[in-house]
Amino acid sequence: MYVANMTWPAVQVLSKDTPVIIPIAAVEQHGHHLPVYTDSLLLGEVVRRAEALIGDAALFAPLQWLGNSHHHTDYPGTISASPRLYLDLLIDLAENYLQHGFKRIFFLNGHGGNIIPGKQAVFELRQKYRLRQDLLLLFASYWDLAQPPSTYVQSSMGHACEWETSMIMQLAPHLVALDPATLHTVPNGYAFDPAYRGWTTKDRTPTGHIGSPQHATAAKGEELFSLFSAGVAGFTKQINAWDGHSWE
């Protein structure tokens, strides 16, 4: 179900155990070859396919396209909310549904920069409502809910990489600005591991992409969409199966 297509009385009569899925993405640079709306396009398609699998088992909020993308602001076209503002935005989004009685809130993420503030948002909400044992507050990125085959060059999500480029090639090939085969691998790792180093995207990549977009294909894109949307559907079943009070 999409809340945007419903009247308020229709929302009001829903079971308050219905999971509310809030998709959060971004508008930011994606290298020389992909559009700045990539994260929102991809998450939107994952949501569309997942909703077709889930049906009335969850309520999908409208996709939030504004993300925490300050690390990309050196590249024109990026639109970003600062980390602290974004944290408050996520908390307020969840608070709206809590105010209306819903008890299972799931932030479905489609942008790496949203991960730290997204986890902090659900952490802070749990502290605020610490006496409420009936609340389930969750955050996950769609690419963590399913694992692509080992035949892929990348084993994890990058940025404008093999995975994202493949999905855009499948979803909107007319938006791929140049042949990914002409691009090169930018390692998807951090210096000074195991420490977490503060960084901007330009510290890591002059072009703006991270990963191996030259290995992308539209066929991989279709496979990835199928895997990730099924992963979201499966996780939603887990949310619905929660008994309403226990830790697991």
Cross-strand pairs, 67: 80
Average pLDDT score over residue span 161-173: 98
Cross-strand pairs, 109: 24, 141
Place 37 in a pLDDT band, splitting at 50, 70 and 90. Answer: very high
The rounded distance, in Å, linking the Cα atoms of 70 and 83 is 8
Q: What is the pTM of this model?
A: 0.96
The rounded distance, in Å, linking the Cα atoms of 95 and 190 is 35
Instruction: Delimit the domains of the chain by residue range.
Output: 18-239
Residue 248 confidence (pLDDT): 86
Average pLDDT score over residue span 149-162: 96
Examine the pLDDT at 27 and tell me if it is beyond 90: yes
pLDDT in tens, 211-225: 999 999 999 999 999
Place 136 in a pLDDT band, splitting at 50, 70 and 90. Answer: very high
Place 189 in a pLDDT band, splitting at 50, 70 and 90. Answer: confident
159, 211 in Cβ contact below 8 A?
yes
Place 33 in a pLDDT band, splitting at 50, 70 and 90. Answer: very high
Fold of 18-239: Rossmann fold (3.40.50)
Residue 110 confidence (pLDDT): 98
- CB atoms closer than 10 angstroms to residue 105: 25
The rounded distance, in Å, linking the Cα atoms of 182 and 34 is 13
pLDDT in tens, 62-82: 999 999 999 999 999 999 999
Residue 190 confidence (pLDDT): 84
Cross-strand pairs, 107: 22, 139
CA 132 to chain centroid: 27
Average pLDDT score over residue span 155-180: 97
- DSSP 8-state code for residue 80: B
What mean pLDDT is reported for the chain? 97
pLDDT above 70 covers a percentage of the chain that reads 100
Torsion angles phi and psi, residue 214, rounded to 5:
-65, -15
Place 113 in a pLDDT band, splitting at 50, 70 and 90. Answer: very high
